[in-house]
Amino acid sequence: MTARERIAGNVAGYVDDRTGAAKWMKKNLTKVFPDHWSFLLGEICLYSFVILLLSGTFLTFWFDPSMREVVYEGSYEPLKGLEMSAAYASTLDISFEVRGGLLMRQIHHWAALIFMVGIVVHLMRVYFTGAFRKPREFNWIIGVGLLTLGIVEGFLGYSLPDDLLSGTGIRIAEAIIQALPLVGSYLAFFAFDGAFPGTAFIPRIYTVHVLLLPGIFLALITVHLMLVWYQKHTQFPGPGRTEKNVVGYPLMPVYMAKAGGFFFIVFGVTAFLGAVASINPIWLYGPYTPGQVSAGSQPDWYMGWLDGLVRMAPPIETHALGHTISWNILIPGLILPGIMFTGLALYPFIESWATGDKREHHLLDRPRNTPNRTAIGVMALTFTLVSLINGGNDIIATTFHLTINQMMWFSRIAIIVLPPIAFIITKRLCLSLQRADRDLVLHGRETGRLVRMPSGEFVEVHEPISAEKAWLLTSHEQLAPLELPEHDASGVRRAGLIKNKIRNRVSRAAAVAVPKATETERRELEGHH
Amino acid sequence: MKRLSRLRRHRAAGPILLIFALFTIGTTFQVASAVNNESTSIADRAVTIEEGKQIFLKGCSSCHGLNAEGGQIAPSLIGVGAASVDFQVATGRMPMADMSVQAMRKDPVYNAEQVHALATYVASLAPGPQVPGEELLNYERDGSVAEGGELFRTNCAMCHNFAAQGGALTQGKYAPTLMGVEPRHIYEAMVTGPQSMPVFSDKTITPEEKLSIIKWIKSAEAEPQLGGAALGRVGPVTEGLLVWTLGIGLLIGVAVWLAMKAR
C-alpha cells in the first residue's frame, strides 16, 4: 500500500464511519446507464438550469426590482437624462457599467432559451419512443409541469427589465387575465395592485422569478431525477437488452466523465452565444411607457406560438348583461393552451386506455412501430409550428415580401387543415417504413449487383442481413386491437356501449400495422433465394 | 465752427472719411446688385419651372395628368409642395417600378438637378411644404439624441420598429427601414406623410424636435454592435431562430459525439 492509498483509505474510512456512505456509494456509483445520444437531451436542460442559477445570482447583485423613477446618468448616450424605472436603469447599468455584466445577462438569456429548447427536444424524445409508459407516467407529468413553469419563468424574466418590449408583453398578459369572464378585471387589479402598469408588478414578479419558481424547479427536477434513478433509465431494444435489465456503462467512471464533460460543453456553447450574439438589447428598446409600442414586438420563442394563436384569432366578442367576453383572446390565450397542456399531461393514460396495455415497459419503441402515436405527435407539432410561424408573421412578411394578411389567412386555414394532413402522411410513412423493414428481413439487403442468369434473365443479388439486425427489426410486439364485445356471455348488452365502441375504434386505429416478418415466413422464402 | 474746423484737420479725419465712403459705396452696391440678382433669379426660376414641366410631361403626366391634376390611378400633385416631390423622386420611389401596393425605394431615375426642376415646377402650381434648408438639418450640431429617441418611440417605432429597422403594415404595405436615409428625406417624409405615413406637421412635432429625431436615427445607424452580432435588431424572432439552429445543433452534435462508441 503506497502512502497515497493509505491516506485516501483513511479519509474514506473517516467519512464512512460517520455517514455510512460507503455501501450506498458502492451501489450507486456502479449504477449502469444505457448509451444513446438522445438520452443526453435532458441533461442539456439540467445543465442550463445550473447556468441559469449561477448567472441569475450574479445579476441579482446589481438588479434593482423597483419602479422608482430615476433619471438615467449612465454611459449609454442615447438614453442620457431620460426618466425611467430603477429596474430599467439598473439593467442598463448591468449592461454598461458592471464588469462582465452584459456577458452575464446574455449568458442568462441564451441559457433560458436553450433550457426551453432542451425541454422540448427531450419531451419529443420521450414521447416518440414511448418512454412515458408505465411506470413513468408521474415523471411525464412532472416533465409537463417543468415545461409549463419554464414558460412562465421565462416570461417573468423577460418582463423584469421594464423595457419597452417587456412592458408590451406584460400588457398582453394583463389583457389575457382580463379576458377571463367575470373575475378577469378583479384578477388583473389584484395582480397589478390597481390599474396597469402601477408600481407593484415588477417587484412582485421578481420574488416569483428568483425565489418561488426556482425553488419549485429545484424540487421538481430533484424528484424527476430521483424517479429516473429509482425506475432506471429506459433503453432502446437490441441484442441482450430486455425489460428486466439495463445494458450500458457504469456511472463511475464512464458517465461521471461524459456527463461532467457535457456540463462544461453546455456552459461553453451558452457562453459562446452570449459572447458573439446580442440577445434582448434592452438599451435599443428604451424604457417602458404605456403610450409607446414598437413594430415587431414579439415574445421569446417559447411564448411565440401563444402569440401566434392570439394574432390569428378572428375578432369575436360577445356582449351580455353588461359584460364583454373577448373570445378572440379567451380561446387562443387560455382555452386552447389549457386543452393542449391537459392533453399532453394525460397522454400516457389516454394511450393505455386506447390500447389496453397496462404492463410495464422499459424498452423503447422505434417511432415507426407505433404509427398512431408518432402521427399524433407530428400532428401536435404541426399545430404548434403553424402558430409559432404566425407569431413572427410581421417579420416573415417584411423579410419575404409577403403581406401580413396572407400570413394570417394561411395560418387560420393551415392550423385546421395541416395537422390532420400531417397525421395521415406520418402514419403512412410509418407503415411504409414498417414494410421496408419487413422486406429487409425477408429478402435481405439490395447489393446493387446484377447477375445475368443462363436463361437471359437479370436478377439483383440480395444479401441476407445480420442476425442482430434481423432481431432488431422483428423484436417489437404488435398488439392486437381491443375487441370489447357489445354483449356479455349471457347475451346481455354491456354497460357503457358507446364508450366501448369509441374505445374499440381508437384501439383499432392504434393497432394498424404491417405484420412483421415471422420466422416461418423467413424460412419459407429461403428456398427462393 | 472752430470745433468743426479742428476736427476736419484732425490726423484721423482722412482715414475715417475713406472708410465711411467705402462703406456707403459698398452697401449701395450690395443693395443694387441684390435687386439685380432677384430679377435674374426670377428669370432663372421661370426657366427651371419650364424644365421641370418638360420632365413632368414626359415622365409623370401619364398617371398624374398633364397639369398634375391627378387621375384614376394617381393623386393630384397640386399643393403637395417641393418637399413631397423631392422625397418621392430623389429616393427613387417615383416614378414607380410597378403598380404594387407601395412605391419602394430604388436608384433614382432623375439626377439632383432634374429633381430640383420637377420640385420647383410642382411647387409653382400651389404653395406646399418646402425642401428643408441646411439650417433645419444640422443634426450634428443641434438637437438632443435622448429627446429624439423618446419622440421616435412615441411617434415612429410602432411602424418603423424600435431600432428604425422597418416593419410590416396591412395588405403588404410596410414601413421601410430608416437606415441610410438622408436627413433631408427623413424630414420631408415627416412633413409630407408619404404613402401610409401620417403627416407630422410643425404643430405636432416642431422643427427642432424633427431635428432631434433625425439625430437619434443617425445615432441608431452608427450604433456599434454592442454585445455581439445584432441579429437584424428585430427582436426575439431571430434569437429564437439562432437557438433552434446553431444552439441546439451544436449541443446535439456534441451529444452524438459523446454517445459514440470508443474505437
**Which tens digits make up the pLDDT trace of B102-134?**
898 999 999 999 999 999 999 999 999 999 988
Mean pLDDT check: name the lowest of A393-402, A440-449, A479-488, B32-41: B32-41
**Which tens digits make up the pLDDT trace of A228-251?**
999 999 999 888 888 888 888 888
Tell me the mean pLDDT in the region A214-225. 97
Tell me the mean pLDDT in the region B33-41. 61
Average per-residue pLDDT in chain B? 90
CB contact under 8 A, A265 and B254: yes
In angstroms, what separates the C-alpha of A113 from chain B's closest C-alpha?
A: 7
**Which tens digits make up the pLDDT trace of B176-219?**
999 999 999 999 999 999 989 999 999 999 999 999 999 999 99
DSSP H/E element including A119? helix A101-128
In angstroms, what separates the C-alpha of A419 from chain B's closest C-alpha?
A: 22
- The answer to whether residues A374 and A287 belong to one domain is no
CB contact under 8 A, B150 and A280: no
Q: Is B105's Cβ below 8 Å from some Cβ in A? A: no
Cβ B140 vs Cβ B74: under 8 Å: no
pLDDT computed for residue B35 by the predictor? 60
**Which tens digits make up the pLDDT trace of A327-350?**
999 999 999 999 999 999 999 999
pLDDT of A218 over the 70 cut: yes
Question: Quick one: closest CA in B to A279, which residue?
Answer: B239
pLDDT computed for residue A113 by the predictor? 97
Q: Encode A467-502: b = buried (16+ Cβ within 10 Å), e = exposed.
A: eeebebbebbeeeebbeeeeeeeeeeeeeeeeebee
Residues of chain B with Cβ-Cβ distance to A286 below 8 Å are: 149-150, 153, 157, 162
Tell whether B254 is covered by a domain.
no
pLDDT of A183 over the 80 cut: yes
Residues of B within the annotated binding site? 60, 63-64, 156, 159-160
Cβ under 8 Å to B: A residues 95-134: 95, 102, 106, 110, 113-114, 117-118, 121
pLDDT computed for residue A273 by the predictor? 97
Which amino acid belongs to residue A118? G
- The answer to whether residues A40 and A186 belong to one domain is yes
Pairing of strands A445-452, A323-326: unpaired
Tell whether B40 is covered by a domain.
yes
Q: Is A218's Cβ below 8 Å from some Cβ in B? A: no
pLDDT of B43 over the 90 cut: no
Instruction: Dig out the grid coordinates for A174 from the structure.
Output: 394583463
SS3 content of chain B, % helix, strand, coil (to 5): 60, 0, 40
Cβ A249 vs Cβ A255: under 8 Å: yes
Q: Cell numbers 429633381 correspond to what residue?
A: B115
Residues of chain B with Cβ-Cβ distance to A404 below 8 Å are: 168-172
Q: Is A281's Cβ below 8 Å from some Cβ in B? A: yes
Instruction: Dig out the grid coordinates for B232 from the structure.
Output: 437584424
pLDDT computed for residue A159 by the predictor? 96
Tell me the mean pLDDT in the region A16-30. 86
- The answer to whether residues B138 and B114 belong to one domain is no
Q: Which of A294, A394, A396 to mutate to test the interface with B (most CBs of B within 10 A)?
A: A294
pLDDT of A261 over the 70 cut: yes
Q: Which of B102, B145, B153, B158 to mutate to test the interface with A (most CBs of A within 10 A)?
A: B153
Instruction: Dig out the grid coordinates for A195 from the structure.
Output: 390599474
**SS3 assignment, position A4:** helix
- The answer to whether residues B119 and B199 belong to one domain is no
CB contact under 8 A, B145 and A77: yes
Cβ under 8 Å to A: B residues 198-237: 216, 219-220, 223, 225-231, 233-237
Tell whether A160 is covered by a domain.
yes
pLDDT computed for residue A525 by the predictor? 72
Tell whether B146 is covered by a domain.
yes
pLDDT computed for residue A343 by the predictor? 96
pLDDT computed for residue A210 by the predictor? 97
- The answer to whether residues B38 and B75 belong to one domain is yes
pLDDT computed for residue A203 by the predictor? 96
Tell me the mean pLDDT in the region A344-360. 94
In chain A, the number of structural domains is: 2
- The answer to whether residues B119 and B161 belong to one domain is no
**Which tens digits make up the pLDDT trace of A75-91?**
999 999 999 999 999 99
Phi, psi of A96 (to 5 degrees): -115, -25
Q: Which of A284-288, A489-493, A503-507 has the highest mean pLDDT?
A: A284-288
**What is the spatial distance between Cα A205 and Cα A211, in angstroms, rounded to a whole number?**
10
- The answer to whether residues B83 and B67 belong to one domain is yes
Tell whether B253 is covered by a domain.
no
**Residue A242 vs residues A38, A137, A246, A378, A467: alpha-carbon distances, Å:** 19, 20, 8, 28, 17
pLDDT computed for residue A271 by the predictor? 97
What band does B243 get if pLDDT is binned at 50, 70 and 90?
very high
Tell whether A529 is covered by a domain.
yes
Cβ A247 vs Cβ A32: under 8 Å: yes
DSSP letter assigned to residue B246: I
pLDDT computed for residue B263 by the predictor? 56
pLDDT of B151 over the 90 cut: yes
Tell me the mean pLDDT in the region A428-446. 93
pLDDT of B38 over the 60 cut: no
pLDDT of A377 over the 70 cut: yes
Q: ipTM score of the complex? A: 0.92
Residues of chain B with Cβ-Cβ distance to A118 below 8 Å are: 248, 251
Provide the domain limits for residue A44: 35-303
What band does B262 get if pLDDT is binned at 50, 70 and 90?
low
The shortest CB-CB distance from B236 to any of A261, A292, A301 is to: A301
**What is the spatial distance between Cα B235 and Cα A300, in angstroms, rounded to a whole number?**
9
The shortest CB-CB distance from A284 to any of B175, B233, B243 is to: B233
**What is the spatial distance between Cα A108 and Cα A129, in angstroms, rounded to a whole number?**
31
Q: Is A427 left (phi over 0), alpha (psi -120 to 50) or beta?
A: alpha
- The answer to whether residues A44 and A189 belong to one domain is yes
DSSP letter assigned to residue B229: B
- The answer to whether residues A64 and A200 belong to one domain is yes
**What is the spatial distance between Cα A248 and Cα A128, in angstroms, rounded to a whole number?**
21
Tell whether B54 is covered by a domain.
yes
Residues of chain A with Cβ-Cβ distance to B218 below 8 Å are: none
CB contact under 8 A, B227 and A300: no
- The answer to whether residues B111 and B156 belong to one domain is no
Cβ A51 vs Cβ A272: under 8 Å: no
Q: Which of A241-245, B12-16, B152-156 has the highest mean pLDDT?
A: B152-156
Residues of chain A with Cβ-Cβ distance to B250 below 8 Å are: 269
Percent of chain B with pLDDT over 90: 67
Provide the domain limits for residue B146: 132-223
pLDDT of B31 over the 80 cut: no
**Which tens digits make up the pLDDT trace of A88-129?**
999 999 999 999 999 999 999 999 999 999 999 999 999 999
- The answer to whether residues B122 and B69 belong to one domain is yes
**What is the spatial distance between Cα A150 and Cα A48, in angstroms, rounded to a whole number?**
12
Residues of chain B with Cβ-Cβ distance to A112 below 8 Å are: none
In chain B, the number of structural domains is: 2
Cβ A126 vs Cβ A147: under 8 Å: no
Tell whether A506 is covered by a domain.
no
**Which tens digits make up the pLDDT trace of A470-482?**
888 988 988 888 8
Beta strand extents in chain B (DSSP E only): 167-168, 174-175
The verdict on pTM exceeding 0.95 is no
Tell whether A412 is covered by a domain.
yes
- The answer to whether residues B145 and B121 belong to one domain is no
Tell which of B99, B130, B161 closes a domain. Answer: B130
What band does A492 get if pLDDT is binned at 50, 70 and 90?
confident
pLDDT computed for residue B3 by the predictor? 75
Average per-residue pLDDT in chain A? 93
- The CATH number of residue A140's host domain is 1.20.810.10
**What is the spatial distance between Cα A305 and Cα A384, in angstroms, rounded to a whole number?**
6
Question: Quick one: closest CA in B to A405, which residue?
Answer: B171
Per DSSP, the residues of A205-263 read HHHIIIIIHHHHHHHHHHHHHHHHHHH---B---TT--TT---SEEIIIIIHHHHHHHH
Tell whether A105 is covered by a domain.
yes
Q: Is A340's Cβ below 8 Å from some Cβ in B? A: no
pLDDT of B36 over the 60 cut: no
The shortest CB-CB distance from B243 to any of A110, A291, A295 is to: A110
CB contact under 8 A, B219 and A44: no
Question: Quick one: closest CA in A to B244, which residue?
Answer: A117
Tell me the mean pLDDT in the region A43-58. 97
**What is the spatial distance between Cα A462 and Cα A466, in angstroms, rounded to a whole number?**
13
CB contact under 8 A, B237 and A299: no
- The answer to whether residues B42 and B125 belong to one domain is yes
Instruction: Dig out the grid coordinates for A186 from the structure.
Output: 378583479
- The CATH number of residue B64's host domain is 1.10.760.10
Cβ A251 vs Cβ A26: under 8 Å: no
pLDDT computed for residue A500 by the predictor? 85
- Is the model more confident about B110 or about A529? B110
Tell me the mean pLDDT in the region A181-207. 94
What band does B99 get if pLDDT is binned at 50, 70 and 90?
confident
- The answer to whether residues B123 and B136 belong to one domain is no
A439 Cβ contact list (under 8 Å, min separation 6): none
- The answer to whether residues B75 and B154 belong to one domain is no
Tell which of B83, B115, B130 closes a domain. Answer: B130
**SS3 assignment, position A378:** helix
pLDDT computed for residue A320 by the predictor? 85
Q: What angle do CA A53, A59, A60 make, to 5 degrees?
A: 90
Beta strand extents in A270-329 (DSSP E only): 317-320, 323-326
Cβ A525 vs Cβ A443: under 8 Å: yes
pLDDT of A385 over the 90 cut: yes
Residues of B within the annotated binding site for heme c? 60, 63-64, 156, 159-160
pLDDT of A131 over the 90 cut: yes
What band does A24 get if pLDDT is binned at 50, 70 and 90?
confident
In angstroms, what separates the C-alpha of B134 from chain A's closest C-alpha?
A: 23
- The answer to whether residues A83 and A183 belong to one domain is yes
What band does A29 get if pLDDT is binned at 50, 70 and 90?
confident
The shortest CB-CB distance from A78 to any of B154, B216, B235 is to: B216
- The answer to whether residues B31 and B117 belong to one domain is yes
Tell whether B121 is covered by a domain.
yes
pLDDT of B34 over the 70 cut: no
Tell whether A466 is covered by a domain.
yes
Tell which of B95, B130, B165 closes a domain. Answer: B130
**Residue B77 vs residues B80, B81, B93: alpha-carbon distances, Å:** 5, 8, 15
pLDDT of A20 over the 90 cut: no
CA atoms within 13 A on the CB side of B223: 27
